[in-house]
Amino acid sequence: MLSLYVHIPFCRKRCSYCDFYLVAGTLRMEDFFEALRSETASRASLLKGETIGAIHFGGGTPSMASPSLLGSWLEQVASLGSFAPDIEIALEANPEDLTGGVAGELHSVGVNRLSLGVQSFSSEKLASLGRAHSPREAMAATRDAARMFDSVSLDLICGVPGENRDAWQGDLERAKASDAQHVSVYMLSLEPRTLLFRDVAAGRVRVPDDGDQAGFYMQALKELKASGYGHYEVSNFAMPGHHSRYNLASWKREPYIGYGPSAHSFFRTEEGELRTANEASLSRYLSAPQSAEGFREVLGERERFEEQVFLSLRINCGLAIEFLRKGNTLPNEMMKALGTMQERGWITLKNDVLYLTDDGFLFADLIAAELIP
Ligand code: SF4
């Protein structure tokens, strides 16, 4: 089963904390879709004979694209590969875009899952993040979407400037009351090339420290799990059957093809397992979409091992100890590291599978690094 990702690189303006590849405004949207159709046609062989299980429109702000443009690209893809009967077609949307019947049009071209960039239900938090929607729009968009789409997810951010436990609790309560079947919780991370990073570095803005961030994360875990959301990945929580199929497939190292500037792909050929990435440049993409690729790597044994460890630990399927064995035994250093992690309460072992505990999820990357010789 194959998944597809499309990076739609347009936003109204850049949010203060965001370092994704994008350009402000939608002037080149039609040109972008023309280029997207060319790129898709030029890579048609990757879809031939494949069943597509999930398509994810990310960005950027895909909800700024017209449903008819999205629909015509979906028709092109359907003519090149075949859609699984229960295909997930997900689109990332900003709440302020879902007005005037847009949600219905998205649904009519085949989108069946919306991932809403809510981030918060507090006007102070939204202002500090530079977001364009109001708390009222966020709640209305989530509830309307839940009536129309099979699955609705919302993103929340914790650890913004001035955040405290009560403000964060307010966001969690509203998320639980919103009818969304899926919640993604992100701890604000300061990315070097952002406005927020510069403000924090210059002392103009203060953000909660790592200890507070850890507290917010544990608060989210407790609240969402108590309300029936299963914790299936470090940052993701879902009611039964509502996990993101596209994301889960990529974490399980299943193949996916990415289209658009900066999009990544992972697939297997006779050469081996390949990771590729398109160049992060809209202008170059528009002028030569058939040769958008800017990076290509055939994964060796070590890269495959590292990826498997990093990705397996992030999801609730865990990592089989068998995978860490050299011959029939675990290397001494690894036994020692596992023992220390167990003492700290970061991991549990069940039937020879290693799982992270709630505390362990806070240290997922550190734990993975310990297990990689
Ligand atoms: S809307 Fe999303 S992708 Fe666009 S700038 Fe803001 S955070 Fe980044």
- Closest ligand 1 atom to residue 117 Cα is 2
Same structural domain for residues 73 and 169? yes
Domain endpoint, select from 249, 284, 315: 249
Which residue range(s) make up the domain with 319?
A: 301-373
| Residues 186 and 55 occupy one common structural domain | yes
Atom of ligand 1 nearest to the CA of 119: 7
Instruction: Based on the fold, state whether residues 229 and 329 are members of the same structural domain.
Output: no
Domain ends where: 208, 233, 249?
Answer: 249
* Residue 44 maps to a domain: yes
The CATH code of the domain that includes 314 is 1.10.10
**Phi and psi dihedrals of 176, rounded to 5?**
-65, -30
Q: Are residues 188 and 337 in the same domain?
A: no
Decide whether any atom of ligand 1 lies within 6 Å of the 20 Cβ.
Answer: yes
Q: Do 23 and 134 lie in a common domain?
A: yes
CA gap 45, 40 in Å, rounded: 9
Q: Are residues 198 and 58 in the same domain?
A: yes
Q: Closest Cα partner for 54 from 121, 120, 4?
A: 4
Query: For a substitution probing ligand 1, which of 17, 18, 131 has the most ligand atoms within 8 Å of its CB?
Result: 18
SS (H, E, C) the chain: CEEEEEEECEECCCCCCCCCCCEECCCCHHHHHHHHHHHHHHCHHHCCCCEEEEEEEEECCHHHCCHHHHHHHHHHHHHHCEEEEEEEEEEEECHHHCCCCHHHHHHHCCCCEEEEEEECCCHHHHHHHCCCCCHHHHHHHHHHHHHHCCEEEEEEEECCCCCCHHHHHHHHHHHHCCCCCEEEEEECCCCCCCHHHHHHHCCCCCCCCHHHHHHHHHHHHHHHHHCCCEEEECCEEECCCCCCHHHHHHHCCCCEEEECCCCEEEEEECCEEEEEEECCCHHHHHHCHHHCEEEEEECCHHHHHHHHHHHHHHECCCEEHHHHCECCECCHHHHHHHHHHHHCCCEEEECCEEEECHHHHCCHHHHHHHHCC
CA of 127 to the centre of ligand 1 (A): 14
Per-residue pLDDT of the chain (373 residues; tens, 9 = 90+): 999 999 999 999 999 999 999 999 999 999 999 999 999 999 999 999 999 999 999 999 999 999 999 999 999 999 999 999 999 999 999 999 998 899 999 999 999 999 999 999 999 999 988 888 999 999 999 999 999 999 999 999 999 999 999 999 999 999 999 999 999 999 999 999 999 999 999 999 999 999 999 999 999 999 999 999 999 999 999 999 999 999 999 999 999 999 999 999 999 999 999 999 999 999 999 999 999 999 999 999 999 999 999 999 999 999 999 988 877 788 888 889 999 999 999 999 999 999 999 999 999 999 999 998 7
Cα–Cα distance, 108 to 131 (Å, whole number): 28
Q: pLDDT, tens digit, for every residue of 311-337?
A: 999 999 999 999 888 777 888 888 899
Decide: 60 in ligand 1 pocket, CB within 6 A.
yes
Residue 14 CB less than 6 A away from ligand 1: yes
Domain count, the chain: 2
Question: Do 321 and 238 lie in a common domain?
Answer: no
Same domain, 169 and 47: yes
Query: Are residue 209 and residue 308 in the same domain, yes or no?
Result: no
Q: Are residues 43 and 165 in the same domain?
A: yes
**Are residues 133 and 220 part of one domain?**
yes
Tell whether 239 and 311 lie within a shared domain. no
**181 C-beta closer than 6 A to ligand 1:** no
Cα of 14 to ligand 1 centre, how many Å? Answer: 6
